[in-house]
Amino acid sequence: MTRWDRFLVAAALCAVVVAPLVTVHALSVHVRSMDAGRSMASVLDWGLLALGAIAIAAIFPIAAATGGLLRSSLAAAALRQLSAGARHASFEDMPYRRVDSSEFGVFTAGLRRPTVYVTAGAEEALTGEMLRAALLHERAHVAANETRWRFLVVALERAFPGVSPVRMFCQRLIARSELAADEQALRDGAAAGALFDALLAGSHSVASETSLGGGDVMIRLEHIVAPGLRDVPRSNGGMVAVAGWATGLPLLAHVLVLGGLVCHSAALS
């Protein structure tokens, strides 16, 4: 991912954290005003219900992202088990961990120390040139810290489940990062034909944070054959959706309070 892509992801995740805090502030002002001079019969008035609903809508993305990332802890446990049984290996001075599995798998995983994994099934299926191309691709992911940024992209996507523009934005970021790794592998000396064949072999590989068969494989294959002929366009709709949510809900809550529509407090404090 480019620096601009990473800035957008970081800004969006900051908005996911900050927007609920700003929205809840308006709710707290309303609650304090009720405590100061309202009867208990007015506790469940429409203003509290409206601000409460807005606050819940603001809090939902961070709750959804947290829940999704907690479920990812299961994958982390599986990765630890995988690492425990993997053996150190290397090919042309490119280290990786060999996994004793007949499944095809060439992928990079791990947040603290990104590591390349290759299954025994992949070693058998790939020729020497194809394995070299695959390892160069994965090495590009490691050099760019892609596993860490991919983790944040997944968190952003999970924060807005069912929101198509956000999902498309995240998926296109992943596709662009795969294209960038392919391009770096070719610059580092991978043969185009070998990388093409390795991608075909890995198109049904095991799921992982960054796998050889990740992204839109057809676009990647076309990009290898004819660089620049077809690219993955940026999708700004996702950032527009996040910006609208992050500004709209806090603004609505504060307009209700400042306008005196839900409480009689003269100012926010």
Q: Which two tokens stand for residue 110?
A: 């791990």
Q: Which two tokens stand for residue 157?
A: 């996507």
C-alpha closest to that of 156 among 144, 148, 167: 167
Query: Residue 109: what are its φ and ψ, rounded to 5°?
Result: -150, 160
Provide the mean pLDDT of the chain: 83
pLDDT at 255 over 80: yes
Q: What is the pLDDT of residues 215-228, one digit of tens each?
A: 678 888 888 888 76
CA 164/CA 106 separation, integer angstroms: 29
> Is 57 strand, coil or helix?
helix
Q: Are strands 210-211 and 106-109 parallel, antiparallel or unpaired?
A: antiparallel
| Average pLDDT score over residue span 22-37 | 74
Give the model's pLDDT for residue 12. Answer: 92
pLDDT at 269 over 50: no
- Please tell me which residue, 157 or 40, carries the higher pLDDT value: 157
| Average pLDDT score over residue span 48-55 | 84
pLDDT at 40 over 50: no
Give the model's pLDDT for residue 265. Answer: 44
This prediction has a pTM of 0.81
